[in-house]
Amino acid sequence: MKGPFNLSEWALKHQSFIWYLMFVALLMGVFSYFNLGREEDPSFTIKTMVIQSKWPGATQEETLKQITDRIEKKLEELDSLDYVKSYTRPGESTVYVYLRDTTSAKDIPEIWYQVRKKINDIKYQFPQGIQGPSFNDEFGDVFGSIYAFTADGLTMRQLRDYVEQARMEIRGVPGLGKIEMVGQQDEVLYLNFSTRKLAALGIDERQVVQSLQTQNAVTPAGVIEAGPERISVRTSGKFASEKDLAEVNLKLNDRYYRLADIAEISRGYVDPASPEFRINGKPAIGLAIAMQKGGNVQAFGKALHTRIEQLTADLPVGVGIYNVSDQAVVVEEAVGGFTSALFEAVVIVLLVSFVSLGVRAGLVVACSIPLVLAMVFVFMEYSGITMQRISLGALIIALGLLVDDAMITVEMMVTRLEMGETKEQAATFAYTSTAFPMLTGTLVTVAGFVPIGLNASSAGEYTYTLFAVIACAMLVSWVVAVLFAPVIGVHILSTKVKPHEGEPGRIGKAFNGGLLWCMRNRWWAIGITVLCFVLALFSMRYVQNQFFPSSDRPEILVDLNLPQNSSIDETRRAVDRLEATLKDDPDIVRWSTYIGQGAIRFYLPLDQQLQNPFYAQLVIVSKGHTREAMMQKLRDRLRNDFVGIGGYVQALDLVLDRTPYRRAHF
């Protein structure tokens, strides 16, 4: 009568096929490792939308009642709404829409469509002259590479032309996502009328402006069909420069006037200024570059750096390019850390195995590590999991667990060999005696991470790959232990194994004595176990509650909040004072400054701030070992030298800020 199916026995009877499977698994694992996408953070859905509306000339109270309140009340109809946060200024309304953490990522596009539809349903309630509302549901785009362009001896307009040219050249980089410019200032033409001249000539300023608008309008002039050709007819007279404006003749009150005779024409930049960008205190224009989702940021970063170096050679003298943020370097360090951890784990496992089991048994255990990792890499590639912060952490955690099953199998084989059995008998006995207990232990370990895998919150989405990778590694390690390890053991282990003789050592005697005492006094053992569990629960109150650790990146964020009626010029002056204290600081590598808005999202969990003229944010890159000291130095400086200005210094967090509902009126 045949016994139950023995997987290890089947593997021994089909060794050629098993060796083939091992070779294919290793080969596919190597290819998958190099094909895996590499990112800093896992793909994550930012469940936030920004709705902005403008009503030029309106007061804060009018904007609040006519726009903000109506939008907020309509948004309350959303079933998945968590809360809204609104900022209302004279003539400007900004509403943040936050969805519940439990909202599924696949439902987000449909919800944003419902938001747009609901707001469009109440558009007729808004007063005339409203600009918008505009919707931004791409709030979570991460621009991992940021370059700053500075100009020495060139105007900002000329610099912008070169940045636009660079932007077009970068479009050819493989894997490129979005590109945005930061800190550019729009050019305008100013007409400065002399009220004395206008009064003397009896001319109304509105007549001049209306006449200019009429002449500069784009109007259809028809087409001419000449045989086989169709020619479009366009009227001339549009203004292309201040010279065109100066030469225009206006007919006002049945008389003709040259515009240059009644107004001074000058070229400048929009006033008040748009949000500005600086690098190391120098005015600059930033180019923020995002990679396509799921791409290899290391390969993308290398290709981008090559293209930037080519562009630098073609730029004129005076145009400088600075690397503000480089996500590829961060990811490269993380992957390098995993490689180091993998090597250390292999060495530790070999040492422990060699000492406890012997050289041959240790080699069997060591061979299981690349096999398990290879199959995990294949799983990651075909399931769309990239090499990022969470999956790398899961792999490092799994390294300490995936060798357990193989060690149990090899140890059982060695024990049976000591009893005089053959290699084949020892391998098959290992399966019948330990396979299902190992599987139970593996499933229990996987069950410990199930709460992460089934968590429907934003944190659960962010950390899902931790559960997926560890679960895969543990299950694959069991397969390797019962299918591959016996075959490897049969070829590596020696039959000349001497049985252990003599009495156990001190540690063995102590363990045996403790085990016998627990078995003879089981109620005492159970009571001590329950007491330890109660003490552990009581001690939990003294353990710091922090789901995510602090980031170890060297960047420091410095927020400056001036009084809410401050102009952007006043904010710029405050920034000038702070930047003057940062120059020649040996603990600072570089810094970038955003005036009138927060830093662009160069890091996924960054709590991005929108445009406000009284707000500025500095991103200071410190020398890694001096970050904490630098943060304290900045706090002291803001407290002592910037009285009346709200300053906040913080390192980068690993979670998005989900502040409770509050409404602020600026």
Domain CATH code at residue 260: 3.30.2090.10
**Lowest mean pLDDT across 25-39, 159-173, 201-215, 380-394:** 201-215
Total length of the chain:
666
Q: How many helices (H) and strands (E) does the chain have?
A: 23, 20
Average pLDDT over residues 36-60: 83
Residue 633 forms part of a structural domain: yes
Q: E strands, 73-167, where? A: 81-89, 92-99, 131-136, 145-151
Residues 463, 470: Cα–Cα separation, whole Å: 12
Question: So what's the pLDDT on residue 548?
Answer: 66
Domain count, the chain: 4
State whether 521 and 576 are in the same domain. Answer: no
Residue 653 forms part of a structural domain: yes
State whether 99 and 197 are in the same domain. Answer: no
Which residue segment(s) compose the domain that 658 sits in?
A: 555-665
Of 136, 161, 196, the domain-final residue: 136
State whether 509 and 589 are in the same domain. Answer: no
Residue 364 forms part of a structural domain: no
State whether 616 and 537 are in the same domain. Answer: no
Residues 417, 425: Cα–Cα separation, whole Å: 9
- DSSP structural state of residue 455: -
DSSP 268-285: EE-SSPPPEEEETTEEEE
State whether 567 and 655 are in the same domain. Answer: yes
Segment 554-597, tens digit of pLDDT: 888 899 988 888 888 889 999 998 988 888 888 888 889 999 88
State whether 582 and 648 are in the same domain. Answer: yes
Residue 261 forms part of a structural domain: yes
- DSSP structural state of residue 361: H
State whether 628 and 589 are in the same domain. Answer: yes
Average pLDDT over residues 619-645: 85
Segment 475-514, tens digit of pLDDT: 999 998 888 888 888 888 776 666 655 566 677 788 888 8
Average pLDDT over residues 268-282: 84
Residue 201 forms part of a structural domain: yes
pTM as predicted: 0.77
More confident residue, 221 or 590: 590
Angle subtended at Cα 473 by Cα 468 and Cα 477, rounded to the nearest 5 degrees: 150
Q: Among residues 217, 260, 221, 222, which one has the least CA distance to residue 239?
A: 217
State whether 534 and 575 are in the same domain. Answer: no
Check which CATH number belongs to the domain holding 67 and give it. Answer: 3.30.70.1430
Listed in sequence order, the residues at least 6 apart from 554 whose beta carbon sits closer than 8 Å to its beta carbon are: 589, 621, 622, 623, 624, 627
State whether 559 and 661 are in the same domain. Answer: yes
Residues 308, 277: Cα–Cα separation, whole Å: 20
Split at pLDDT 50, 70, 90, the class of 28 is very high
Residues 192, 266: Cα–Cα separation, whole Å: 8
Listed in sequence order, the residues at least 6 apart from 553 whose beta carbon sits closer than 8 Å to its beta carbon are: 330, 603, 651, 652
State whether 115 and 208 are in the same domain. Answer: no
What one-letter code names the amino acid at 177?
A: G
Helix (H) / strand (E) element for 634: namely helix 627-641
State whether 539 and 560 are in the same domain. Answer: no
Question: So what's the pLDDT on residue 594?
Answer: 92
**Lowest mean pLDDT across 194-208, 463-477, 496-510:** 496-510
Residues 238, 217: Cα–Cα separation, whole Å: 7
Question: So what's the pLDDT on residue 499?
Answer: 61
Residue 567 forms part of a structural domain: yes
Residue 466 forms part of a structural domain: no
Split at pLDDT 50, 70, 90, the class of 534 is very high
Residue located via tokens 């001319």: 203
State whether 207 and 132 are in the same domain. Answer: no
Q: How far lies 199's CA from each of 194, 202, 204, 209, in Å?
A: 9, 5, 8, 16
Q: 239-247 — which CB contacts under 8 Å span 24+ positions?
A: 239/189, 239/212, 239/215, 242/189, 242/266, 242/267, 245/189, 245/191, 245/212
Please give the biggest Cα pair distance in the chain. 124
Residue 642 forms part of a structural domain: yes
Q: 235-241 — which CB contacts under 8 Å span 24+ positions?
A: 239/189, 239/212, 239/215
Question: So what's the pLDDT on residue 389?
Answer: 78
